[in-house]
Structure 1
Amino acid sequence: MSSMVTQVRSVRIGALVPLTRPGWVEAGRHLLAGLELAVREVNDAGGIVGRPLELVARDTAADPQRAAAAVDELARLGVVAVAGEYHSVVARAAAARADALGLPFLCSSAVLDALTEEPTQWVARLAPAQSHGWQIYADFLLGAGHTRIAVAAEPSVYWASGARILRDHLAPRGGTVIELDMRALTPTAVCDELVDHRATALLLLVGHPEPAVPIVRSVRRDPRLAEIMMGAPAGQPEFAEWAMLLGDDGAGIPFLRYLPEHLTPLGARVGTALRERLGEVPSFVAFEGYDTVVVLADALRSHGADGARTAESWSRVAVDGTRGRIRFSRVPGISVWQWAWPPIQVVDRDPAEPARFRILHAG
């Protein structure tokens, strides 16, 4: 009997996720959970015109070359699109490779403005561009009365871009950005610099857990800096590991997250399912993963399991995600098809209850 059963060929999409160090493993786990949950639900609802959707995941480990090689491998495996990635520099390498191969890439969670060097039809993005989100963060700083802002920065295109966005936005509004080079400074030396420069805020433009966690501990223990505000626009305090490593010291550090004040009805249901899957409160990254598959499944159902037709359909996407209605457009200065814009909040962990988040500002 089994010989008479015809195996229905799956529709494959590739997923790039950081699942090992030095990648941000917790972000990768949340991103993958969102992707996997959505794939399961698509298949429970009949798949892609009767064909099952299959996710082929590859670990990027925050390595751009590894990501580019994974895109090549996924293309050989016959995926109709590539999705995911959290780290901006890694997503940029993946986008360049996908563009060169003519393979659609829907970037879930990386924000670097220049995701590709030249405008491309093959790449679309759900996360907001860094310039948009970090300008909202700069407005929050000004609103809170901070005009002398130090940034503890490591060398990377992403951190350098963030520092430039902050400087360009704050300078005309009376703000000063003081850059502290973390290649040359210990966490204790950072404290001395903050005192010398009379900074009222310190932004952590550095990796997690090193050196972000030691910097936070040093600043919290320095009586000269009792009044300083620390911030982390890249979102390090979003994840449970931050609270586990820092406890009360990790509270009151504002960061960007891409959630609305109230999730859509779909988002509320998905949030419950993600919490069960993860065993903890899902981050915005998990919702980004889910929404990625919602978009791709809609495009594949509407235009067929063909990469070129998927790429041609970015401008016609209009689908309800967990955080609102998703549409893509061409935004000045952004080289890819962009959801403009996902909801953006500045939040922190409540010092009175570090497991709870407080919304401080919305953009």
Structure 2
Amino acid sequence: MNDNENKAYYTRELTAWYQRGNRDLPWRRSRNPYHIWVSEIMLQQTRVETVIPYFNRFMEKFPTIDALADAPEEDVLKAWEGLGYYSRARNLQAAAQEVKESYEGKVPDTPEAISSLKGVGPYTAGAILSIAYNKPEPAVDGNVMRVLSRFFLLEDDIAKPSTRGKIEKLARALIPAGSAGDFNQALMELGATVCTPRSPHCLVCPVMERCGARLEGRTDELPVKTKAKPPRPESRAAAFITDAAGRLLVRQRPQDGLLARLWELPHVPLSEGGREEASREADKRALRERLAAEDGLRVVPGEWLTDAEHTFSHLRWDMRVYRGRLAHEPGEPEALPPAYRWMGRDEMGSYAFPNLFLRIIQGEAEAAAGREARA
């Protein structure tokens, strides 16, 4: 069978499979480009099951592009809290503002215009254009590169930009006239539910009969992908400080960079020697000295509270948390450095915290409730 016949088979069978039935996802219930756009941004590095409740709440709070464009950034970040990768939320709002100002609130329907929006890369542009507007544009992400690599026995390293370009060209050639949205969603659906990274469900695959990787017993080998560098571990110590009213001392992160403008517990990096070599007394000394030197905050760290960790794409924070108090003298004014404030538990619902600190704060709240119940 020649290559063109193989491509025609793949397109026909996969599209028919998707049209016979697929997952009922809230963003698939209309062709609204705003809904599709938000869902695709949320789905980057996040599982569908996690995204669904976030998507529903986000649409309830920001039902239109204008509503998102006009919202305070703090509200947008709070609605995003727990999804991580907060730059996605900021870029989404910035792009919504551009759509409101330059396109009268309507998501543009050309590759050039939509690709110019902040945070909209080739995959997101292709997904919106094909699903919302039925334009014959490919939408190639990791799932799509995997399923096409297996079926067509592609042995190029999918971590290389040149390979993505080749697969985008192939995907474009496969798109059927008039069914671009269904075909691209079929590719996504196949990668998410059948042609999974490990232990693919080949026996229920709609294109199994001619899948090159299955026929040659190479599904475990494909796609070819060089391993990324593991996240760099970084040990840190944090201070958990409350006042007489039970408010928690928090600070806002800088305007730019990692987790920009989110709220967190005061914390400092520890020496390169690592957690194994660093005693708790060394942790406390680092907390005391570095918070005083860098923020002008004088603290007295106390007992160890908990350990927690969080992995970013390039970095892993190993956090050791200590209770503490401020080191002001009796009668001395308790002025806080810039970016610091006392925050009551009832206020935290209005401010966005990274997942790591949410877990620490919520864990301590649950422990405190347990102590009260036992008292």
TM-score interval (norm. to shorter):
under 0.3
Instruction: Tell which structure's C-alpha radius of gyration is larger.
Output: 2
Higher relative contact order (CA 8 A, sep 6+): 1
TM-score in terms of structure 1 length: 0.25
The structure with the greater share of residues assigned to strand is 1
